[in-house]
Amino acid sequence: MLRVEARHQLGELLLDVELAVKRGECLALAGPSGAGKTSLLRVAAGLLRPEQGRVDANWETWLDTERGIDVPAEQRRCGYVFQHYALFPHLSAWQNVAYPLRGLTRQERLARATELLERFGLAERADARPHTLSGGERQRVAVARALARGPEVLLLDEPLSALDARTRAVAARELGGVLRESEAPTVLVTHDFAEAAQLGDRVGIIDNGRVVQLGTPSELAATPRSAFVADFTGAVVLTGVARTAPSGATRVELDGGGTVTSTDAAEGLVAVSVYPWEIAIEPAGEAPHGSAENRLSAEVVSITTVGNRVRLGLAGPQPLVAEVTVASVERLGLNPGAQVVATWQAAATRLVSV
Amino acid sequence: MTRRAWFSALLVVCLAAALTFLTLPVVAIFVDSTPGDLIASLGEPGALDALWLSLKATAASIAIILVVGTPAAYLLATRSFPGRAIVVTLIELPLVLPPAVAGIALLASVGPSGVLGGAIDAAGIELSFATAGVVVALTFVASPFYVRQAVAAFAAVDRSLLDASRTLGASEAHAFLRIMIPVALPGLAAGTALALGRALGEFGATLMFAGSFQGITQTVPLAIYDRFSTDFDSALALSAVLVAVSAAILLSVKLVRGGEALGIAPR
């Protein structure tokens, strides 16, 4: 069990966070840079002393500003993976992993470090210096080092952001396995919602020093509590004015023209959010062939292939992004400049008052 | 000729002038006397005494500079406190002091009739006209070269390494010895070489503060000055030795820097 409460003014930003992580659980905090994610980890680790705060790890109090308790960082058993890994450049991989193992003979330290490196598939890289390791290997050494002392709490700061896209997918899967095995309560911070959703048992969205919403990844995606959360989880966000239609559904007059329907209830100024993969594309000027209530005319401005999916940038009354299959792009013969209709269900349309 | 060619020609002429002006005197030291002459005049007892004294005094002052200057530089590089900029400026001040002023300053502070002279005398320490005085003079003029470089070297070390060390349960003293010094080593070595060069060549402050007594306070630069009007060959021979040692120091700095560029040292 890890509990962190912190109030701390950081320049313009007021960090004001309260969170609890259970044993064996990984809480992933996602938010834009400058939201206070790293500062929160530093408070937990004892590298930053907040003006007001409390940190409890298992049955020990590490920080209580009211009672004047502040256990120094070196005595808190935190496994901390730094954003750029902070490997000691003059030490080999095994010496990095063995650094926290003091009071043992060189033989014992080597044996323990080798055991950890083997677990991470790095046994043959034990003598390599960090600058000769690949990004993915460096990341694994950093995680192995953080685990070497058997930490009570695991803190990971953007553990995948220093990796290239291809390495990241593999590294994320491996890290996920490590986190599932670990019993230590874990806080992971990232600027990437998809990464948080993949690695966290629960995800918190952090913005401007506060956790604005906390839940399972699917809860956050399905019921974003604010336009920021919707936008951050990858949704398309449109703005407009909502009123209840005679049918009971809500009609939203979009700024810039066009109307959409949602099954959510709302009145007045709203943010409309819909996920790009909910949006289908039809050629302009044809009769509607789906059951989708919402139809907006748009022009294709960009076509980006991501794996087997294609992201279409659309210029309509407000910008839209649709994610469709490669096959449908080919079937429709889409090119930049093509006139299309973007369609989606009223049930896939979330409304948030702004 | 086009304007661009003229400008390039001007650059080349300036470089050639600078190169000639700076190397000719040094080359002349070796041209003016045969190697045999040099070795023969080194056989003279006064010259060997001066060499030995220079090495001893320089080694002692470098040892003091490293032991005291390294932790001091680490503090300046890793902590911010009110007045830090003033402290840094005060430490760097001897860099720009004329050697004669440094000598006077040492006399006025730790000389026999200086501010602390009585206390030093009472402690039974003899500085003026003693080898210890030479060490004091060398340390005074050479330490800023090291401390300045060491502060820069420590400040350049990624702070997250210190944070990592703390989260891994190591004390700051442990991190200082095992992480900071090894990682900053190329910068520290360069600073040591600069201080070494400055200490070996020290003349004015030593002369004024410690005097020029053969075997006690007469270092190589003082011995050269002492005999250039009476025994020019011997002065030349000692100069040649200093040139060789200084060149070796410069070369070692370049090699350390080269190592840094080759990625042996961290970014």
Which of A47, A79, A102 minimises the CB distance to B166?
A: A47
pLDDT number for residue B43: 76
ipTM of the complex: 0.79
Largest CA distance in chain B: 75
> How far is residue A149's CA from residue A165's CA, in Å, rounded to a whole number?
30
Four-CA torsion B76, B77, B82, B86, nearest 10 degrees: 60
> Could B183 and A102 be called an inter-chain contact, meaning their C-beta atoms sit closer than 8 Å?
no
Structure-block tokens of residue A177: 């396995």
Question: Is residue A38 pLDDT above 90, yes or no?
Answer: yes
Question: Is residue B32 pLDDT above 90, yes or no?
Answer: no
Set out the domains of chain A in order of their start, with CATH numbers: 2-228 (3.40.50.300), 235-353 (2.40.50.100)
> Could B168 and A149 be called an inter-chain contact, meaning their C-beta atoms sit closer than 8 Å?
yes
Question: Is residue B18 pLDDT above 90, yes or no?
Answer: yes
Amino acid at position B49, single letter: D
How much of chain B exceeds pLDDT 90, in percent?
Answer: 57
> Could A99 and B182 be called an inter-chain contact, meaning their C-beta atoms sit closer than 8 Å?
no
> How far is residue B101's CA from residue B114's CA, in Å, rounded to a whole number?
14
From chain B, the residues in CB contact with A79 under 8 A are 167
Report yes or no: A3 and A54 within 8 Å, Cβ to Cβ: yes
Query: For helices B99-110 and B131-155, what crossing angle results, to 10°?
Result: 110
For residue A128, the tally of other CB atoms under 10 A from its CB is: 17
Residue A347 C-beta-side C-alpha neighbours within 13 Å: 2
Residue owning tokens 């279409």: A312
How much of chain A exceeds pLDDT 70, in percent?
Answer: 100
Give mean pLDDT, residues B56-70.
96
Higher confidence at residue B77 or residue B253?
A: B77
Give mean pLDDT, residues B99-116.
89
Average pLDDT, chain B: 88
| pTM metric for this prediction | 0.78
- Taking only Cα atoms into account, the Rg of chain A, rounded to an integer number of angstroms, comes to 24
> How far is residue A3's CA from residue B167's CA, in Å, rounded to a whole number?
18
> Could A74 and B167 be called an inter-chain contact, meaning their C-beta atoms sit closer than 8 Å?
yes
User: Residue B1: pLDDT band by 50, 70, 90 thresholds?
Assistant: low
Closest CA to A276 of A160, A168, A194: A194
> How far is residue A281's CA from residue A315's CA, in Å, rounded to a whole number?
13
Structure-block tokens of residue A8: 């701390």
From chain A, the residues in CB contact with B184 under 8 A are none
Question: Is residue B136 pLDDT above 80, yes or no?
Answer: yes
Choose from A199-208, B236-245, B247-256 the range with maximum mean pLDDT.
A199-208
> How far is residue A16's CA from residue A125's CA, in Å, rounded to a whole number?
42
User: Residue B258: pLDDT band by 50, 70, 90 thresholds?
Assistant: low
Give mean pLDDT, residues B109-136.
87
> Could A74 and B158 be called an inter-chain contact, meaning their C-beta atoms sit closer than 8 Å?
no
> How far is residue B237's CA from residue B224's CA, in Å, rounded to a whole number?
9
* Distance in Å, alpha carbon of A348 to nearest chain B alpha carbon: 44
Residues of A at the B interface (Cβ-Cβ below 8 Å)?
Answer: 42, 45-47, 72-80, 82-84, 86-90, 99-100, 102, 131, 145-146, 148-149
Question: Is residue A18 pLDDT above 70, yes or no?
Answer: yes
Name the residue of chain A whose CA is nearest to B179's CA: A88
Question: Is residue B264 pLDDT above 50, yes or no?
Answer: no
Q: How would you class B35 by CB atoms within 10 Å of its CB: exposed for 0-12, middle for 13-18, buried for 19 or more?
A: exposed
Question: Is residue B219 pLDDT above 60, yes or no?
Answer: yes
Query: Domain residues of chain B, as ranges?
Result: 37-261
Which of A74, A87, A89 minimises the CB distance to B169?
A: A74
Q: CB distance from B163 to chain A under 8 Å? A: yes
> Could A99 and B170 be called an inter-chain contact, meaning their C-beta atoms sit closer than 8 Å?
yes
From chain A, the residues in CB contact with B171 under 8 A are 74
User: Residue B266: pLDDT band by 50, 70, 90 thresholds?
Assistant: very low
Question: Is residue B17 pLDDT above 70, yes or no?
Answer: yes
User: Residue B47: pLDDT band by 50, 70, 90 thresholds?
Assistant: confident
> How far is residue A170's CA from residue A172's CA, in Å, rounded to a whole number?
5
Average pLDDT, chain A: 90
pLDDT tens figures, A82-97:
999 999 999 999 999 9
pLDDT number for residue B145: 95
* Distance in Å, alpha carbon of A329 to nearest chain B alpha carbon: 47
Which of A87, A89, A149 minimises the CB distance to B169?
A: A149
pLDDT number for residue B16: 96
> How far is residue A205's CA from residue A199's CA, in Å, rounded to a whole number?
14
pLDDT tens figures, A153-179:
999 999 998 888 778 878 888 898 899
Which range has the worst mean pLDDT, A42-56, A231-245, B79-93? A231-245
For residue B104, list its beta bridge partners.
Answer: none
pLDDT number for residue A5: 94
Give mean pLDDT, residues B244-267.
66
> Could B168 and A145 be called an inter-chain contact, meaning their C-beta atoms sit closer than 8 Å?
yes
Q: What architecture is domain B37-261? A: Orthogonal Bundle (1.10)
* Distance in Å, alpha carbon of A242 to nearest chain B alpha carbon: 49
pLDDT tens figures, A275-306:
888 898 988 888 877 788 899 999 998 888 77
pLDDT number for residue A84: 92
User: Residue B259: pLDDT band by 50, 70, 90 thresholds?
Assistant: low
Which of A74, A86, A90 minimises the CB distance to B170?
A: A74
Report B:172-201 residues touching A (Cβ under 8 A). 178-179, 182-183, 185
Q: CB distance from B264 to chain A under 8 Å? A: no
